[in-house]
């Protein structure tokens, strides 16, 4: 392989690595925001469940308080029932007793429903609290890794940029200009590996004679379709 092409391949590999590192750095704030949003959402969902549990406890206490008052009323009605002197008064108190007893049964049914829901919610909350703590720790650790990786990535970019300068200095000016022109038109990919008579960048077949010359000759060849400079990976 042409030594200049070999250097160009090394340059492209370095530049693609630099672009990849820069992309990682630029995406770090977004990734961090996504993770933080997930953490906040998990906390809000848990807080909603906790609030529901507290509300159920409040409802239960209110109902139990109401039942206690009804039982007091029921006791008084029974005392009154013993003191009435007419059938009309007796019947009226009896109706009140029946209504109070029915109301008590209804309130107690509501209390049982609340107790069942609250019991199930409390069990799920205990499991959820443990899971939430583990998830929060994992997300915070992931955020820390993303944020702490930036200085390392930046340092790696500096090293890569130095390598790029060294490689550029070894490439003839006109050829480097051609490389830059192709890279600018082809999303940073100026060179393409030729494999089994195909250009692996555009996937168009290379003319047999060109492919044969690429294998045997030290000249520089380009793809007829995408104009990228061709190289053979096994020749590097």
Interatomic CA distance for residues 202 and 47, integer angstroms: 53
Three-state secondary structure of 48-60:
HHHHHHHHHHHHH
Question: Exposed e or buried b for every residue in 189-201, given b needs 16+ CB within 10 A?
Answer: bbbbbbeeebbeb
Confidence of residue 229 (pLDDT cuts 50, 70, 90): very high
Confidence of residue 234 (pLDDT cuts 50, 70, 90): confident
Residue 90: predicted pLDDT: 85
Averaged over 15-23, what is the pLDDT? 95
Averaged over 102-117, what is the pLDDT? 94
Residue 86: predicted pLDDT: 86
Residue 160: predicted pLDDT: 96
- Among residues 195, 230, 212, the alpha carbon closest in space to that of 6 is found at 230
Tell me if 80 sits within 8 A of 93, measured CB to CB: yes
pLDDT tens string 127-142: 888 888 898 999 999 9
Report whether pLDDT(236) > 80. Answer: no
Residue 23: predicted pLDDT: 95
- Among residues 16, 38, 36, the alpha carbon closest in space to that of 146 is found at 36
Residue 210: predicted pLDDT: 94
Confidence of residue 2 (pLDDT cuts 50, 70, 90): confident
Report whether pLDDT(221) > 90. Answer: yes
Tell me if 236 sits within 8 A of 9, measured CB to CB: yes
Interatomic CA distance for residues 195 and 203, integer angstroms: 10
Residue 82: predicted pLDDT: 83
Furthest-apart CA atoms within the chain: distance in Å:
127
pLDDT tens string 51-104: 999 999 999 999 999 999 999 998 998 888 888 888 888 889 899 899 999 999
Residue 1: predicted pLDDT: 67
Report whether pLDDT(201) > 80. Answer: yes
Residue 77: predicted pLDDT: 87
Confidence of residue 235 (pLDDT cuts 50, 70, 90): low
Averaged over 100-112, what is the pLDDT? 93
Tell me if 192 sits within 8 A of 214, measured CB to CB: no
Tell me how many degrees the CA angle 100-108-62 measures, rounded to the nearest 5: 90
The mean predicted confidence, pLDDT, of the chain is 92
Confidence of residue 150 (pLDDT cuts 50, 70, 90): very high
Report whether pLDDT(180) > 70. Answer: yes
Which domains are present in the chain? 14-170 (1.10.287.1490), 176-235 (no CATH)
Report whether pLDDT(165) > 60. Answer: yes
């Amino acid at each position: 392989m042409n030594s200049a092409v070999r250097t160009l391949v090394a340059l492209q590999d370095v530049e693609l690595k630099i672009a990849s590192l820069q992309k990682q750095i630029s995406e770090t704030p977004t990734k961090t925001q996504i993770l933080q949003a997930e953490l906040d959402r998990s906390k809000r969902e848990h807080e909603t469940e906790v609030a529901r549990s507290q509300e159920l406890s409040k409802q239960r206490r209110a109902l139990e308080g109401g039942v206690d008052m009804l039982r007091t009323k029921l006791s008084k009605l029974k005392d009154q029932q013993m003191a009435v002197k007419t059938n009309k008064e007796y019947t009226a108190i009896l109706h009140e007793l029946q209504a109070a007893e029915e109301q008590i049964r209804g309130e107690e049914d509501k209390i049982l429903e609340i107790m069942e829901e609250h019991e199930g919610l409390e069990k799920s909350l205990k499991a959820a609290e443990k899971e939430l703590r583990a998830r929060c720790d994992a997300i915070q650790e992931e955020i820390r890794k993303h944020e702490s990786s930036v200085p390392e990535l930046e340092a790696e970019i500096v090293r890569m940029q130095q390598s790029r300068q060294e490689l550029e200095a070894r490439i003839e000016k006109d050829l480097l200009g051609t490389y830059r022109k192709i890279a600018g038109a082809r999303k940073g990919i100026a060179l393409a590996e030729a494999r089994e008579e195909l250009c692996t960048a555009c996937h168009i077949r290379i003319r047999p004679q060109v492919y044969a010359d690429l294998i045997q000759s030290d000249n520089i060849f380009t793809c007829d379709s995408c104009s990228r400079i061709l190289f053979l990976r096994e020749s590097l």
